[in-house]
Chain A
Amino acid sequence: MERRSFLKVAAATAAAAGTGLLANKASAADAVTIALIPGLTADGFYVTMHKGAEAAAKALGVNLLYQGGAKWDATLQIPIVEAVIAKKPAAILIAPNDKQQLVGPLKKAFDAGIQIVCVDTFIGNGVFQTGSGDADFPISYVASDNILGGKMAAAALAKAVGGKGKVYVSNTLPNVSTTDQREQGFKEGMKAFPDIQVLETQFNGDDANKAAAQFQAVLGRAPDLVGVFGANLFSASGAGNGAKQAGVAGKVKIAGFDAPESIVKDLKDGTFEMTIAQHPAEIGYFGLVAAYAKVTNNPVPTAIGTGFTVMTKANIDDPNVAKYIYSSK
């Protein structure tokens, strides 16, 4: 490039950056800014969580930033964390995509004076503010207790299959804290039922097509399969479709996790026997409140557990149950 045109471009860029910085500074002085980084943007669960966080932000007069990756991928989330750090929010609510890989970037944020709240998934071991460990700095972990959720699924599924038979877990990918915990909780819960044998977990990479084929393959080698626990939506809906293809829908019971809008039909036509619905709006709401409390120098509990609702064909029409269906409305 010629020197003169280069200088022009450089000057224009500097002016733009300067204006940008000024604009940022102006808004930062007005209200507390808190950023929410979901596990991924394209997911009913996180859409509902965003809604909850927005409600809390409105109530508290907080400016809420929302940035996330389109996929559950630490390599997508880390640059987003770094971009958000540059915007200097007072706090970041984040659902980390990986227990280890996000520790470094979040520590950078913390060292830059930004408070961290983990929502849904966690870094390290999820127990914060103990005074030890390198992932100790987040102020709180706000989530459903996924281990409890897994145990509830185990109890409900065991009851539905009459306490005996073979079951397996259809999971997405290993080393994701939420689905790992649900599987762990499910297996622990199943220990109370010695006549139920838990077969090896199948990983479907969050692809319903593969989950369906895996179901049919497991059924092929274990005709006495009675139940499947799908650790997330596509796992459960894939397994349910596999059951339909194999002609055993309703005979092999599927326990799912999460409650997108399609759950109503799936419960009513027997594709799912039950689903464990989380309360993501609560997670978003209380996550934001926890961050705000810390930023305004108030004490914060280090762990906030939100609840579950077990949805079945029998109770899905009850408005008190149906209000927990994930939706963007």
Chain B
Amino acid sequence: MTTAALASPTSRPSLLMRVAELRAWLFLIVLVIFFETWTRIGYGTSFLFSLYNLQAIAVFAAMPLLLGLGQTFVIISAGIDLSLAFVMGLASVVAAHLTNIGATNFGMSQPVAMLFGILVGVAITIIPGLVNGWLIAYLSVPPFIGTLGMYGVSRGAAYLLAGGMTIAVDNDWYSQIGNGRAFGYIPILVIITAAACLILHYMLSQTRFGQHTYAMGASKAAANRAGINIKMLTLKIYVLSAIMGGVAGAMYTGRFSAGAPQAGEALLLDSIAAVVIGGASLFGGSGTIWGTVAGAFVIAVIQYGLVLVDVEPFWQFIAVGGVIIVSVLVDQTQRRYLGGRQAE
């Protein structure tokens, strides 16, 4: 063990360590200042003090963030969930189908049909979540492989259920959930995402479930010997992640008035990037919900901002990739030189 790791585990964290932990928020602030300057000089408008921009960025970040919330738990536990790409699509398609079936076959009114569709769409994701958890906990399949397998199975299931097309939904209530604004300002989608953030933050930081997740990620063997039921914990974590995929999928169907099997495909890597930029280590044991929130907004701000200031589209890929690399480098440096103090 290096001396750095032994040095003062209970004393106040140094400024440098604090900076490293909060790097996602610092990135965000730097980006906002960067774009604010650019828009003022180039266009005479504000980036940050524009309700329009804030709404657009918040809605843009909502679905990747929903996926990222579940992914946070998984990554803290030293796992990864690749199946979210199509679990989200599966939920989207099922929600669309059942909203339609509820209205036509069971004569439900629009709000009831919508709730029926959303509930079943989210509930169905428990199945891939359980399979993931079972493969990883009971059959000791590495998370990457296990969830990659479910990625394929969910993809097939979603496409089969959708017949290879998108499933149109005609439900004004559902469309309002995805596109409506509360009090004329705050998109309902953002409110739902914020509620999810609060709930999952509470679960991660204030419950035994959250504490055990950190323990498992830091050292599975130690957690096991401390009496934590690792198998049940793993199951719960992957079911939680899948359910978040279900929520994101149900929201997608509302927003676009159609269920699409590939709804989450483009969002998977953004969700992992958000968690990593937010301060979690891919080796497990650290990370926070608010970090993931910051990470998701970093990605959204970059992608939105670059289009807003009319930068050549391909720079966006480079920008997001660059931020991820810097995040991981900071994380590695933090581990090596600052004793790798875990986030609380």
Do A and B pair up? The answer is yes
Q: Which residues of A contact B252 (CB under 8 A)?
A: 209
| B56 on the A face (CB < 8 A) | yes
Q: Are A241 and B256 closer than 8 Å at their CB atoms? A: yes
Residues of B within 8 A of A (CB): 39, 43, 45, 50, 52-53, 55-57, 59-60, 63-64, 155-156, 159, 162-168, 170, 179, 187, 252, 255-258, 260-262, 265-267, 300, 303-305, 307-310, 312-314
* Size bracket of the A interface: 35 or more
Taking a contact as CB atoms closer than 8 A, the residue among B162, B303, B308 that contacts A220 in the complex is B308
Residue pair B159, A41 in contact (C-beta under 8 Å): yes
Chain A residues within 8 Å of B50, by CB:
220
CB neighbors of B among A187-214 (8 A): 200-203, 205-210, 212-214
Q: Are A261 and B303 in contact (CB under 8 A)?
A: no
Contact A220 B256 (CB under 8 A): no
Complex CA gap A233/B168 in Å reads 13
Closest A residue to B159 by CB, please name it: A42
Given A41-B159, A42-B162, answer yes or no on A237-B258 (Cβ-Cβ < 8 Å).
Answer: yes
- Chain A hits for B312, CB < 8 A: 200
9 A-B pairs whose Cβ atoms sit less than 8 Å apart in the complex: A43-B165, A71-B262, A210-B266, A217-B307, A242-B56, A245-B56, A260-B166, A261-B165, A326-B165
Can you name the residue of chain A whose Cβ is closest to the Cβ of B305? A217
The A interface, classified by DSSP as helix, strand, loop or mixed, is helix
Bound complex: CA of A70 vs CA of B170, how far in Å?
27
Among the interface residues A212, A218, A220, which one has the most CB atoms of the partner chain B within 10 A? Answer: A220
For residue A286, CB closer than 8 A to chain B, the reply is no
Residues of B within 8 A of A233 (CB): 166
Known: A42-B262, A245-B59, A260-B166. A216 touches B309 (CB 8 A): no
Contacting residues, chain A, for B43 (C-beta < 8 A): 221
Say what secondary structure dominates the interface of chain B.
Answer: helix
A266 contact set on B, CB distance < 8 A: 257
Q: Closest chain B residue to A216 by CB distance?
A: B56
The answer to whether A264 has its CB under 8 Å from any CB of chain B is yes
Give complex CA distance A202, B163 in Å. Answer: 29
Question: Closest CB of chain B to A266's CB: distance in Å?
Answer: 8
With beta carbons under 8 angstroms apart, the residue of A207, A217, A241, A265 that contacts B170 is: A265
Complex alpha-carbon distance, A214 and B307, angstroms: 6
Q: How far is the CA of A247 from the CA of B294 in the complex (A)?
A: 27
Instruction: Kindly state the separation between the CA atoms of A216 and B39 in the bound complex, as whole angstroms.
Output: 15
Residue of A nearest to B170 (CB): A265
CB of A175 to closest CB in B, whole Å:
12
In the bound assembly, the distance between CA atoms of A195 and B303 in angstroms comes to: 30
What are the residues of chain A within 8 A of B59 when measuring CB–CB?
Answer: 212-213, 245
Q: Are B266 and A207 in contact (CB under 8 A)?
A: yes
- On whether the beta carbons of A47 and B56 are closer than 8 Å, the reply is no
A262 located at the interface, meaning its Cβ lies under 8 Å from any Cβ of chain B in the complex: yes
The residue in chain A whose Cβ has the minimal distance to the Cβ of B258 is A262
A161 and B223 CA atoms in complex are apart in Å by 65
